[in-house]
Amino acid sequence: MDLQDPRPRVLVTRRIFAPVLERLSASLSLDVHDSDQALSPEALRERLAGCDGAFVATTERIDAALLDACPRLRAVCSMAVGYNNIDLPACTARGVLVSNAPDVLTETTADFGFALLLATARRVTESEHFLRAGQWRTWSVDLFAGQDVHGATLGILGMGRIGQAVARRGVLGFGMKLVYHNRSRLPAQTEAALGARWVDKDTLLAEADHLVIVVPYTPETHHLVGAAELARMKPGATLVNIARGGVVDDAALAQALRDGPLAAAGLDVFEGEPSVHPGLLAASNVVLTPHIASASLRTRLAMAHLAADNLLAFFSGGTPPTALNREVLARPR
Ligand code: DGY
């Protein structure tokens, strides 16, 4: 980064795609942390202190203390849809624009949620490990017999854009019955089109053969599914988490996978990731993936371009397309 450069200074907190960097560097002065290793909180504070903007993902924690150490900061643009790592009220209070990256990842993430559901219910990875380990000796009548997906009851916890996209796949592609729980109900027309039934959380847990969790992570959704909720699920049910680590109590989940009632789980997100609870690592009836639900190349590129669109719009005096706190735009930039 050239300190004499009069253009707004932006820290890019990780390695991103070259075409996105090219677009940004045409009008911004960039400090690029060109690595997949997240900056430590201290390094982030040091690098961000002299910057006007930040390009972030899910791994950088932007809180009040960091904002106070970086008084120059005017915009934080994330390439993720989830923004639980950013203290939005603290940003708004200090006039810092925040944007996320919704919509562009909806279908890709729903594809992956469904892939996890199928792999979990039909024991795809567990049986593959068995085969690769040379343990397959003979065909047998119940070898890796799992749970049916077609015609089963799909439960969706969190019926936002991604939840609805998973639901469409289940209902239209697999003839599933649909129950969901969300703070607000879908419009009657959408419910009717999917045959969706809104139920309270306990009924959802009791009725779902396959539960897919897609709620944002907030203080209210911390351990939304813990030991008590898991105990309400059907014997032989499966659970898929593509939301955020922390929404499910991973220790309780590991126990429910060992002692019942769950048959299996598919998890793309974990409490304290990239660490994974040892009880989950030890369980054979869980499919584990490293937070990749949105990771098709095309979608990850679109997510990064959207974060760039927001930064470029903000620093050129325009309206960032997916700002989360537009009210700060009324203030002088
Ligand atoms: C998101 O966008 O929030 C995803 O979890 C990151 O892939």
Distance 293 CA to ligand 1 centre (A): 8
Distance 166 CA to ligand 1 centre (A): 16
Task: Look up the pTM and report it.
Answer: 0.96
Nearest ligand 1 atom to the CA of 57 is 6
Residue of the CA atom closest to atom 1 of ligand 1: 80
Would you say the C-alpha torsion 127, 128, 129, 131 has a positive or negative sign?
A: positive
Distance 246 CA to ligand 1 centre (A): 14
Do 47 and 56 meet the contact criterion of CB atoms below 8 Å apart?
no
Nearest ligand 1 atom to the CA of 105 is 2
Per-residue pLDDT, 1: 66
Q: Is residue 2 part of a domain?
A: no
**65, 52: one domain:** yes
Per-residue pLDDT, 67: 98
Distance 133 CA to ligand 1 centre (A): 33
Beta-carbon count within 10 A of 40 CB? 9
Report helix, strand or coil for 154.
strand
In the chain, how many domains are there? 2
Per-residue pLDDT, 199: 98
**209, 129: one domain:** yes
**144, 56: one domain:** no
**51, 160: one domain:** no
Residue of the CA atom closest to atom 3 of ligand 1: 82
Nearest ligand 1 atom to the CA of 100 is 2
| ∠ CA 126-129-132, rounded to 5° | 150
**134, 225: one domain:** yes
Residue of the CA atom closest to atom 2 of ligand 1: 80
Facing residues of 11 across strands? 31, 54
Distance 14 CA to ligand 1 centre (A): 15
Give me the CATH number covering residue 155. 3.40.50.720
Roughly how many angstroms between the first and final C-alpha of the chain, as a whole number? 22
**164, 184: one domain:** yes
Residue of the CA atom closest to atom 7 of ligand 1: 294
Residues with a catalytic annotation lie at: 244, 273, 291
Q: Which domain holds residue 260?
A: 106-288
**119, 98: one domain:** no
| ∠ CA 319-320-325, rounded to 5° | 95
Nearest ligand 1 atom to the CA of 244 is 5
Which residue type sits at 150?
Answer: H
Residue 165 parent element (H or E): helix 161-168
Mutation pick for ligand 1 pocket among 77, 81, 218, 269 (CB with most ligand atoms within 8 Å): 81
**142, 274: one domain:** yes
With a Cβ cut-off of 6 Å, ligand 1 is lined by 58, 80-82, 105, 294
Q: Is residue 4 part of a domain?
A: no
Per-residue tens of pLDDT for the chain, all 333 residues: 677 889 999 999 999 999 999 999 999 999 999 999 999 999 999 999 999 999 999 999 999 999 999 999 999 999 999 999 999 999 999 999 999 999 999 999 999 999 999 999 999 999 999 999 999 999 999 999 999 999 999 999 999 999 999 999 999 999 999 999 999 999 999 999 999 999 999 999 999 999 999 999 999 999 999 999 999 999 999 999 999 999 999 999 999 999 999 999 999 999 999 999 999 999 999 999 999 999 999 999 999 999 999 999 999 999 999 999 999 999 876
| ∠ CA 88-90-95, rounded to 5° | 90
Q: Is residue 132 part of a domain?
A: yes
Per-residue pLDDT, 333: 65
Residue of the CA atom closest to atom 4 of ligand 1: 80
- Supply the DSSP symbol for 185: P
**133, 263: one domain:** yes
Report helix, strand or coil for 82.
coil
Half-sphere exposure of 66 (CA within 13 A, CB side): 25
Q: Is residue 3 part of a domain?
A: no
